[in-house]
């Protein structure tokens, strides 16, 4: 992932600031200081806004052409909201989304229409992302109909080609979603997303609802498609192993902010942010001996509410390394000493190589 170093542009809290392209890679999507707040309303007759849900709080990232950016986080970290902001499904409170050189932030529906051909989404739940009352031929053919790119027999042919490509039997054109398994339904969703040959596909936890064996099939399909069509993916998940498998780079989100980001190798190999370390330690390891040898880091406490996030570093109430400054000052997202320029961390006391986080503070309770 290519992010812009923090030494240019105005000082901003948390994430990298904006600047013209300084890194060599061809960037398809750039998100700059994206903020999305949802108002919390209360009251009966007259609804007053009593608070804000800080779903996404100043996030910047970019996705290079033909590559995959993984976005990881717990429920409530804001990753789904971020995805929908990029897709233009919900309006942005502030910040920018730049797609293929064009600013597509908060465009009107009419202006957004041509953009929609190039940004598509695949959804998490295979059981509710397809209209149960329509035949899958119609569902997959929807993009052609909406954007008037093919009709009649031509459309049908195109749909059946798509079905073939994702591994479905084209003869099932007239079937209903209820007649397919979960994995097949996700393939239908993929076919629908592919129809107009988009440049970016946002995958919102596309395999979380599937059996592990089916997950592999669908992930392989996605990888094949990326290779064949040069697609870029924004891949959202909460499972780190899945993300490692499919992504070129990863961003870890916590309560609306990015804690750590960078290419897969450095982030997984030497994670710097305590949250990342904790997540990695919780991922199941296939080798039982290695699992036993590993130190589990158990974070205490629950995820705080995004309506009233903690001051300073959002993670500090649960962080084993937290000190006074963590509660007062927001850490900047920047490269740390000894890391590649693309490996960014937002932490006052990044984890060093060889450091035993479990011993540092609250670790496995007795």
Partner 1 sequence: MSITGIEVAGQEIAAGEGALDASAAKIQGRSQWQLTWRRLRRDKVAMAALVVILIMVVLALAAPVFVSITHHPPNIAYPNTGEDAAGNPVGPGTAGFWLGTDGTGRDLFIRILYGARISLFVGFVTTAIGVVAGVTVGLMAGYFGGFIDTVLARFTDAVLAFPYVVLALALAVVLGPSLIVIIGVIAFFSWAAIARIVRGQTLSIKEKEYIEAARSLGAGPFRIMFLDILPNLLAPVLVLATLYIPTAVVFEATLSYLGLGIQPPTASWGNILADAQNFYQVAWWYVIFPAAALLITTLAFNLFGDGIRDAMDPRTERAFAAGRARRRRGKRQVLANDSQSHLSHAAPYVPPAEGS
Binding mask 60-89 for partner 1 (x = CB under 8 A): ---------------------------x-x
In the complex, the smallest distance separating the C-beta of residue 127 from partner 1, rounded to whole angstroms, is 8
Range in contact with partner 1 (rule: CB under 8 A) among 40-48, 52-60, 142-150, 233-241: 142-150
Q: How far apart are the C-alpha atoms of 90 and 33, rounded to whole Å?
A: 16
In the complex, the smallest distance separating the C-beta of residue 176 from partner 1, rounded to whole angstroms, is 4
- Residue 189 binds to partner 1 (criterion: CB under 8 A): yes
Report the SS3 class of residue 56.
strand
In the complex, the smallest distance separating the C-beta of residue 119 from partner 1, rounded to whole angstroms, is 8
Residue 20's alpha-carbon distances to 9, 23, 27, 99, 209, in angstroms, are: 10, 9, 11, 14, 39
| 274 and 321 Cβ atoms separated by less than 8 Å | yes
Range in contact with partner 1 (rule: CB under 8 A) among 152-160, 234-242, 337-345, 349-357: 152-160
Range in contact with partner 1 (rule: CB under 8 A) among 161-169, 239-247, 319-327, 350-358: 161-169
- Residue 208 binds to partner 1 (criterion: CB under 8 A): no
- CB of 172 or CB of 238, closer to partner 1: 172
From edge to edge, which strands make up the β-sheet containing 200-204? Answer: 119-122, 200-204, 232-237, 68-72, 249-254, 257-263, 344-345, 334-335
Q: Which two tokens stand for residue 317?
A: 């109430």
Report the SS3 class of residue 126.
coil
Taking each helix axis from N to C end, the angle separating 152-166 and 182-194, rounded to the nearest 10 degrees, works out to: 130
- The residue ranges that bind partner 1 (CB under 8 A) are 87, 89, 109, 112-113, 116-117, 119-121, 123-125, 128-135, 137, 142-143, 146-147, 156-157, 160, 164, 166-176, 178-181, 184, 187, 189, 192, 217
């Amino acid at each position: 992932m290519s992010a812009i170093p923090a030494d240019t542009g105005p000082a901003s809290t948390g994430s990298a600031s904006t600047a013209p392209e300084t890194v060599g890679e061809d960037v398809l999507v750039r998100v700059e200081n994206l903020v999305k707040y949802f108002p919390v309303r209360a009251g009966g007759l007259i609804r007053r806004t009593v608070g804000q849900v800080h779903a996404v709080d100043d996030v910047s990232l970019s996705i290079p052409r033909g590559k995959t950016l993984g976005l990881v986080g717990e429920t409530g970290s804001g990753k789904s909201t971020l995805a929908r902001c990029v897709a233009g499904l919900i309006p942005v409170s502030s910040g920018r989304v730049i797609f293929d050189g064009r600013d597509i932030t908060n465009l009107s529906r009419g202006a957004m229409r041509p953009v929609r051909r190039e940004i598509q989404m695949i959804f998490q739940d295979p059981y509710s992302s397809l209209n149960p009352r329509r035949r899958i031929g119609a569902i997959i053919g929807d993009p052609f109909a909406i954007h008037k790119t093919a009709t009649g027999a031509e459309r049908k042919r195109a749909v059946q080609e798509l079905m073939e490509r994702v591994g479905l039997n084209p003869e099932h054109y007239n079937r209903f979603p209820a007649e397919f398994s979960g994995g097949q339904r996700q393939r239908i969703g993929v076919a629908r997303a592919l129809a107009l040959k988009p440049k970016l596909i946002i995958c919102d936890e596309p395999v979380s609802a599937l059996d592990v064996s089916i997950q592999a099939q669908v992930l392989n399909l996605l990888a094949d498609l990326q290779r064949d069509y040069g697609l870029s993916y924004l891949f959202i998940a909460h499972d780190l192993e899945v993300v490692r498998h499919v992504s070129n780079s990863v961003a870890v989100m916590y309560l609306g902010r990015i804690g750590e980001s960078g290419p897969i190798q450095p982030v997984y190999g030497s994670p710097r942010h305590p949250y990342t370390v904790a997540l990695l330690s919780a991922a199941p390891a296939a080798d039982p001996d290695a699992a036993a040898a590993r130190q589990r880091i158990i974070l205490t406490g629950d995820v705080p509410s995004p309506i009233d996030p903690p001051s300073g570093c959002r993670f500090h109430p649960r962080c084993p390394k937290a000190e006074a400054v963590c509660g007062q000052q927001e850490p900047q997202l920047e490269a740390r000493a000894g890391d590649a320029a693309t490996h960014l961390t937002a932490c006052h006391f990044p984890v060093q190589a060889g450091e035993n986080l479990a011993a540092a503070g609250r670790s496995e309770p007795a």
